[in-house]
Amino acid sequence: MGIRFFSQLCTQRYEMIGELLCQEQHDIALLQEVWSERDFLFLKRKLSSSHPYTHYFKSGVIGSGLAVFSRHRIQDALLYQYSLNGYPYMLRHGDWFGGKAVGLVIVDVSGLKAHVYVTHLHAEYSRAQDEYLSHRTVQSWELLQFVRHTSCGADLVVLGGDLNMHPQDLGNRLLRSHTGLRDCYTETDTFDGCEDGHTLIADNHFTKKQDLVPFEKGIRIDYILMKGSQRVTMKCESLSTTKGPVADKPFPYSDHEALTAEFALLHSEDTLAVSEQMEVVAEARALVKEGLCQTEALRDKAMHLMFGALLLLLLPLAMAFLPCSCSCSFSTLGLLGAVCMVLLLSGALLYLLFTTHIKVLKETEDQMMLTSNDLQTKLTGCQLSGSSSLDGSPEIQPLSPFKREE
């Protein structure tokens, strides 16, 4: 998608996206990076017949960019904004201003209660030196906690969005192992799309080549994840992606390829092994602890900057009371004092920022510890119920088709 007046051909691409959604008639469409409410309202008007039920999630300075368009009535909606989302002083990245979040809509699908989530995590600007890795891990943890605690009464669960993580990245494994969500790309019966399911490819007019280094062919960072319940299991019958250029159009819909999944609703559900959950949460705790140490070091530097500026501030104050023979003019002393005040204020603001981040990292690490202890109890306690399947289970029959697009 894009930001009006900053992204290329923004108006024309929203027109194309509206035409595509009207034509394809998906049950639910989940969009990210709809940064302007004006663009959302345009799509809402254009899709009023095909997708009469909509919700736009608002957060941050410019908004979360998350929007839902549905053929089914939206019964309820909930937004959770991630605690960590980059730094306000990193203007060239801008994630902090976007208010990255996860949105939930509850819809009725053929009498079944569907919890549908849409999210967008912090971008990875450098694979080799990812300064936001701990932030994205915290976001993954908060996302899985949000899904776990809000999907208990759901018959089926779908999560779609730009996770900005490769399939085997820690945050991705953490999310899947602790929610039971399954990746449609690895589960689907039929796939039609870019090689290896890539959603950011070189053969796209809007793709910046530096974003793919060192993966020149492309990367898979956009996902549709699914999970059923004791009542219903979801099966992904087909998954497809757009493939860069659009026929009869001079440019693609977006810099990311769109995902479309078609589901069948079935009758059984498997659970993930507790040992796998323990391994991945332990790895996540170690990474969050590392991020905590790095942030504490940054806070210490901010504190040193603050104290250093305070000491320097005493210098012009002392020089101001020296005899007139002092060669420094009052204008020079005033300039030196102003510089010291700026450094002092900058140090104080950075100290507050990093202190807030430390609290979030510590809270996440504490929650992970509780989860790890609970899993350890399950692993060493009684035999887990439901770990083996019974013979003579009823034949699996599909209930109804269900399609959605990211």
**Which residues are part of the catalytic machinery?**
256
Residue 30 C-alpha from the chain's centroid: 13
DSSP assigned state of 94: -
* Residues 257, 244: Cα–Cα separation, whole Å: 7
The DSSP bridge pattern shows strands 74-81 and 101-109 to be antiparallel
CB 293 within 8 A of CB 361: no
DSSP SS3 for 19: helix
DSSP SS3 for 79: strand
* Residues 27, 129: Cα–Cα separation, whole Å: 40
CB 142 within 8 A of CB 83: yes
- Specify the amino acid at residue 337: G
Q: Which of 247, 252, 262 has its CA nearest to residue 192? A: 262
* Residues 53, 106: Cα–Cα separation, whole Å: 11
Stretch (H or E) spanning 15: helix 10-24
- Specify the amino acid at residue 96: W
* Residues 240, 188: Cα–Cα separation, whole Å: 10
